[in-house]
Amino acid sequence: MTVKKILTEPNEILRQISKPVEKVGKEEQKLMDDMLETMYSANGIGLAAVQIGVPKRIIVMDLSKDEKIKEPRYFVNPKIKNKDSLKSTYEEGCLSVPNQFAEIDRPKKCDIEYLDYNGKKKLLKAEGLLATCIQHEMDHLEGILFIDYLSKLKKSMIIKKLSKNKSSRIVV
Ligand code: NI
Protein backbone atom coordinates (compact mmCIF):
# COMPACT_ATOMS: atom_id res chain seq x y z
CA MET A 1 0.00 0.00 0.00
CA THR A 2 1.20 3.46 -0.87
CA VAL A 3 0.25 6.83 0.56
CA LYS A 4 -0.59 9.11 -2.37
CA LYS A 5 -0.68 12.87 -2.62
CA ILE A 6 -4.14 14.35 -2.05
CA LEU A 7 -5.09 17.06 -4.54
CA THR A 8 -6.46 20.27 -3.09
CA GLU A 9 -8.76 22.97 -4.44
CA PRO A 10 -8.28 24.83 -6.71
CA ASN A 11 -7.37 21.96 -9.05
CA GLU A 12 -9.04 21.14 -12.38
CA ILE A 13 -8.79 17.38 -11.83
CA LEU A 14 -11.06 17.66 -8.78
CA ARG A 15 -13.71 19.16 -11.08
CA GLN A 16 -13.71 16.23 -13.52
CA ILE A 17 -16.58 13.76 -13.70
CA SER A 18 -15.22 10.35 -12.73
CA LYS A 19 -15.68 7.40 -15.09
CA PRO A 20 -17.52 4.19 -14.20
CA VAL A 21 -15.40 1.13 -13.42
CA GLU A 22 -15.98 -1.72 -15.87
CA LYS A 23 -14.67 -4.51 -13.70
CA VAL A 24 -13.28 -4.69 -10.17
CA GLY A 25 -9.92 -6.36 -10.71
CA LYS A 26 -6.45 -6.37 -9.18
CA GLU A 27 -5.71 -2.85 -10.40
CA GLU A 28 -8.86 -1.43 -8.81
CA GLN A 29 -8.20 -3.30 -5.56
CA LYS A 30 -4.66 -1.92 -5.44
CA LEU A 31 -6.11 1.55 -5.99
CA MET A 32 -8.59 1.00 -3.12
CA ASP A 33 -5.76 -0.17 -0.83
CA ASP A 34 -3.73 2.94 -1.65
CA MET A 35 -6.76 5.17 -1.18
CA LEU A 36 -7.47 3.70 2.24
CA GLU A 37 -3.84 4.07 3.33
CA THR A 38 -3.83 7.68 2.07
CA MET A 39 -7.10 8.43 3.88
CA TYR A 40 -5.88 6.94 7.17
CA SER A 41 -2.60 8.82 7.03
CA ALA A 42 -4.47 12.09 6.48
CA ASN A 43 -6.94 11.30 9.31
CA GLY A 44 -9.91 11.43 6.96
CA ILE A 45 -13.09 9.36 7.13
CA GLY A 46 -13.73 9.23 3.38
CA LEU A 47 -11.85 9.60 0.11
CA ALA A 48 -12.78 9.48 -3.57
CA ALA A 49 -10.26 8.23 -6.16
CA VAL A 50 -10.30 11.56 -8.00
CA GLN A 51 -8.81 13.18 -4.88
CA ILE A 52 -5.58 11.29 -5.58
CA GLY A 53 -5.85 12.14 -9.27
CA VAL A 54 -7.63 9.01 -10.55
CA PRO A 55 -11.05 9.97 -11.98
CA LYS A 56 -12.73 6.58 -11.44
CA ARG A 57 -16.00 6.06 -9.58
CA ILE A 58 -14.43 4.59 -6.44
CA ILE A 59 -14.82 5.67 -2.80
CA VAL A 60 -13.32 4.41 0.45
CA MET A 61 -14.60 5.23 3.92
CA ASP A 62 -14.08 4.30 7.53
CA LEU A 63 -16.36 5.81 10.15
CA SER A 64 -15.21 3.70 13.12
CA LYS A 65 -14.62 5.84 16.19
CA ASP A 66 -12.03 3.55 17.73
CA GLU A 67 -8.68 4.04 16.00
CA LYS A 68 -7.64 0.47 16.72
CA ILE A 69 -10.69 -1.08 15.13
CA LYS A 70 -10.67 -0.56 11.39
CA GLU A 71 -13.93 -0.80 9.49
CA PRO A 72 -13.02 -0.01 5.90
CA ARG A 73 -15.86 0.39 3.41
CA TYR A 74 -15.40 0.32 -0.35
CA PHE A 75 -17.86 1.64 -2.92
CA VAL A 76 -17.41 1.13 -6.65
CA ASN A 77 -19.88 2.77 -9.09
CA PRO A 78 -22.22 3.89 -6.28
CA LYS A 79 -25.73 4.98 -7.26
CA ILE A 80 -28.33 6.64 -5.07
CA LYS A 81 -31.55 4.65 -5.24
CA ASN A 82 -33.64 6.53 -2.71
CA LYS A 83 -33.32 9.80 -0.86
CA ASP A 84 -35.10 11.02 2.22
CA SER A 85 -36.93 14.34 1.98
CA LEU A 86 -35.87 15.04 5.57
CA LYS A 87 -32.51 16.74 5.88
CA SER A 88 -29.77 16.55 8.43
CA THR A 89 -26.97 19.03 9.00
CA TYR A 90 -23.34 18.28 9.69
CA GLU A 91 -20.31 20.50 9.82
CA GLU A 92 -18.32 19.17 6.86
CA GLY A 93 -14.70 19.38 5.94
CA CYS A 94 -12.77 17.77 3.09
CA LEU A 95 -9.20 16.55 2.61
CA SER A 96 -9.19 18.48 -0.69
CA VAL A 97 -10.32 21.71 1.02
CA PRO A 98 -7.88 21.77 3.94
CA ASN A 99 -8.80 23.47 7.22
CA GLN A 100 -12.17 24.73 5.99
CA PHE A 101 -15.47 23.68 7.51
CA ALA A 102 -19.11 24.55 6.92
CA GLU A 103 -22.55 23.30 7.88
CA ILE A 104 -24.19 21.52 4.96
CA ASP A 105 -27.74 20.12 4.70
CA ARG A 106 -28.19 16.79 2.97
CA PRO A 107 -30.91 14.13 2.86
CA LYS A 108 -30.93 12.32 6.21
CA LYS A 109 -31.27 8.85 4.72
CA CYS A 110 -30.39 7.32 1.38
CA ASP A 111 -30.10 3.89 -0.22
CA ILE A 112 -26.94 3.22 -2.20
CA GLU A 113 -26.38 0.50 -4.74
CA TYR A 114 -22.71 -0.26 -5.41
CA LEU A 115 -20.05 -2.90 -6.00
CA ASP A 116 -17.85 -3.89 -3.08
CA TYR A 117 -14.11 -4.65 -2.92
CA ASN A 118 -14.72 -7.99 -4.64
CA GLY A 119 -17.02 -6.59 -7.31
CA LYS A 120 -20.15 -7.95 -5.63
CA LYS A 121 -23.37 -5.96 -5.98
CA LYS A 122 -24.57 -4.55 -2.66
CA LEU A 123 -27.28 -2.29 -1.27
CA LEU A 124 -26.67 -0.02 1.70
CA LYS A 125 -29.37 1.74 3.67
CA ALA A 126 -27.48 4.71 5.03
CA GLU A 127 -28.53 7.14 7.73
CA GLY A 128 -26.98 9.98 9.72
CA LEU A 129 -23.21 10.43 9.40
CA LEU A 130 -22.92 7.49 7.02
CA ALA A 131 -25.55 8.98 4.69
CA THR A 132 -23.90 12.41 4.78
CA CYS A 133 -20.44 11.01 4.21
CA ILE A 134 -21.39 8.83 1.23
CA GLN A 135 -23.24 11.78 -0.35
CA HIS A 136 -20.21 14.03 0.17
CA GLU A 137 -17.96 11.43 -1.45
CA MET A 138 -20.38 10.83 -4.32
CA ASP A 139 -20.33 14.56 -5.02
CA HIS A 140 -16.58 14.20 -5.65
CA LEU A 141 -17.41 11.76 -8.48
CA GLU A 142 -19.38 14.59 -10.14
CA GLY A 143 -16.64 17.17 -9.59
CA ILE A 144 -18.60 18.81 -6.77
CA LEU A 145 -17.05 20.02 -3.50
CA PHE A 146 -18.97 20.93 -0.33
CA ILE A 147 -17.97 24.58 -0.74
CA ASP A 148 -20.12 24.66 -3.91
CA TYR A 149 -23.19 24.70 -1.62
CA LEU A 150 -22.08 27.90 0.10
CA SER A 151 -22.84 31.45 -1.00
CA LYS A 152 -20.69 32.81 -3.85
CA LEU A 153 -18.95 35.17 -1.46
CA LYS A 154 -18.12 32.52 1.13
CA LYS A 155 -16.91 30.13 -1.54
CA SER A 156 -14.67 32.67 -3.26
CA MET A 157 -13.18 33.67 0.11
CA ILE A 158 -12.27 30.05 0.81
CA ILE A 159 -10.77 29.52 -2.65
CA LYS A 160 -8.76 32.72 -2.32
CA LYS A 161 -7.41 31.56 1.02
CA LEU A 162 -6.50 28.14 -0.37
CA SER A 163 -4.81 29.62 -3.45
CA LYS A 164 -2.77 31.93 -1.25
CA ASN A 165 -1.60 29.04 0.91
CA LYS A 166 -0.62 27.18 -2.23
CA SER A 167 1.44 29.96 -3.76
CA SER A 168 3.36 30.58 -0.56
CA ARG A 169 4.23 26.94 -0.19
CA ILE A 170 7.82 26.10 -1.03
CA VAL A 171 9.48 22.73 -1.41
CA VAL A 172 13.24 22.79 -1.04
NI1 NI B 1 -14.21 15.50 0.38
The rounded distance, in Å, linking the Cα atoms of 156 and 87 is 26
Look at residue 15 in the predicted model and tell me its pLDDT: 97
Domain boundaries 12-168, corresponding CATH code? 3.90.45.10
Residue type, 16: Q
Rounded to 5 degrees, what are φ and ψ at 72? Answer: -65, 140
Nearest to 73 by CA among 63, 88, 81, 65: 63
**Ligand 1 mean position, distance from CA 118 (Å):** 24
Quick one: which H or E segment has residue 114? Answer: strand 109-115
**Ligand 1 mean position, distance from CA 63 (Å):** 14
**Ligand 1 mean position, distance from CA 134 (Å):** 10
The rounded distance, in Å, linking the Cα atoms of 155 and 149 is 8
**Ligand 1 mean position, distance from CA 131 (Å):** 14
**Ligand 1 mean position, distance from CA 120 (Å):** 25
Annotated catalytic residue 137? yes
pTM (2 d.p.): 0.94
List the catalytic residue out of 9, 28, 92, 137. 137
pLDDT tens, position by position, for the chain (172 residues)?
899 999 999 999 999 999 999 999 999 999 999 999 999 999 999 999 999 999 999 999 999 988 789 999 999 999 999 998 999 999 999 999 999 999 999 999 999 999 999 999 999 999 999 999 999 999 999 999 999 999 999 999 999 999 988 777 676 7
| Phi-psi domain of 77 (left: phi exceeds 0; alpha: psi -120 through 50; beta: other) | left
DSSP-assigned letters across all residues of 70-83: ---EEEEEEEEEEE
Domain boundaries along the sequence of the chain: 12-168
The rounded distance, in Å, linking the Cα atoms of 52 and 6 is 5
The rounded distance, in Å, linking the Cα atoms of 160 and 54 is 25
Look at residue 67 in the predicted model and tell me its pLDDT: 78
